[in-house]
A = this chain, B = another copy of it.
Amino acid sequence: MAGYSVDGTRLWSRLMDMAEIGATVNGGSHRLALSQDDEDGRELFLAWCANRGFTVVFDKIGNLFVRRAGRTPAAPAVAIGSHLDTQPMGGRFDGVLGVLAGLEVLETLEDLGVATEAPVEVAVWTNEEGARFQPAMMGSGVHCGVHPLAEALAVADASGIPVAQELERFGYDRGVEPGSHAIGSYLELHIEQGPILEQEGKSIGVVTGGQAIRWYSLDLRGEETHAGPMPMAMRRDPVRHLAAAAELVYRTGTADADARATIGRIETRPGSINAVPGELHLSVDLRHPDESVLEQMHGSLAEGIAQLNDAAEGVEISLEQIWHSPVVHFDAQLAAAVRSSAAARGYAARDMVSGAGHDAFHLAKAVPAAMVFVPCRGGISHNAQEFTAPEQAAAGANVLLDVTLQLAGAPAPPGTKA
């Protein structure tokens, strides 16, 4: 191995060109799923693909599959994928790196005239971010049969525009049935969106799976009253119990170094400056790579909230689980191939578990799948500060190239042993 390498300069230049579509004043990108900017980004990508003679198939949820043919057309394709939509005022790398590194693999094979047995494809999944249309990872979820197409089409954004209307606007309704375009295995390169690789001076994260996640609604109900007349001692103010409830949540985040506990949203109702809120609603996100530890975290939070409720006079405190995403395990052989490629190329690597969700989570339920992480500066993601260096992006793409060659079946590079 390690005889072929991607063109890191071309990859970087494409990343920077793509960032110009929906560019934000502070250097980020804003391409909400199925917006005109998202479509413009896809068209730029497809123009690059067409220039190299790669063919494209799209489906009715807007997923794109760009193919470089193999010697055996009927062989299941090796797909490299991610997404081109961004968070609102998002960054240049989240998703985009995975797609453009996939294209870089196809172009490198083309440049070098390497014929693979199986076709090699780049998949662009629709609406991974879930910022405009929920749920996130929509396109890959529909492809894998997790969400029915009709359900996804009916989802509307905050202004009432349904997914179906935007898909029709761009002609995706003329695509193939989602899931009918089969792939044989799946690889995804992504920035870590965490600080660990950078801090440990590692270049490659061998992603063995994804954390289990539980989402909750934590609700405190008291009595709304005017901020003036009612004496403090007579209030049933739910905000007085917020500190204790938050403390319980954060305590579950200290189960061990892999535990995560987040209160991302707090809502007061009516939310008026001169009214004691009658209701307080908190979102809670608990994560752990070990399902049984997450179960313990769940138990201790539920018990703590129940005790808090018993002790809270005049305020009702309740916890309801609203979502559970089990632990994801990537294919062990594919992960081993990622590990071997990094070792062969001399990239410092470590195994890790993804804290965020990715399209690969859905794909892993259907086909052998794996992910590769590269460092990102300060662990920052989802905003304009998001950054990975050109050589880090190229290293990730080289690992994709190696594993793709192995999966798709290719002659050993000149001067190497197969």
Interface residues in chain A, defined as those with a beta carbon under 8 Å from any beta carbon in chain B: 88, 192-196, 211, 213, 215, 223-234, 237, 239-240, 242-244, 246-247, 250, 253-254, 257, 259-268, 270-277, 280, 283, 285, 287, 354-357, 379-383
Contacts and interface: CB of A to CB of B under 8 A. Distances in A.
A48 to B, nearest CB: 29
Contact of A229 (B88, B234, B355): B355
B230 A379 contact: yes
A356 B263 contact: no
A367 B249 CA distance: 55
Q: Give me the 9 closest cross-chain CB pairs, A-B, nearest first.
A: A228-B355, A194-B229, A243-B243, A229-B355, A227-B262, A273-B283, A228-B356, A227-B285, A265-B271
B266 A228 contact: no
A379 B229 contact: yes
B381 A215 contact: no
Contacts of A280: 266
Contact of A257 (B194, B231, B267, B287): B231
Contacts of A233: 257
Given A242-B242, A246-B243, A273-B283, A228 B379 contact: no
A194 B274 contact: no
A193 B257 CA distance: 50
A239 B265 CA distance: 10
A194 B356 contact: no
A228 B354 contact: yes
Contacts of A232: 250, 253-254, 259-261
A239 B253 contact: no
Contacts of A381: 225-226, 229
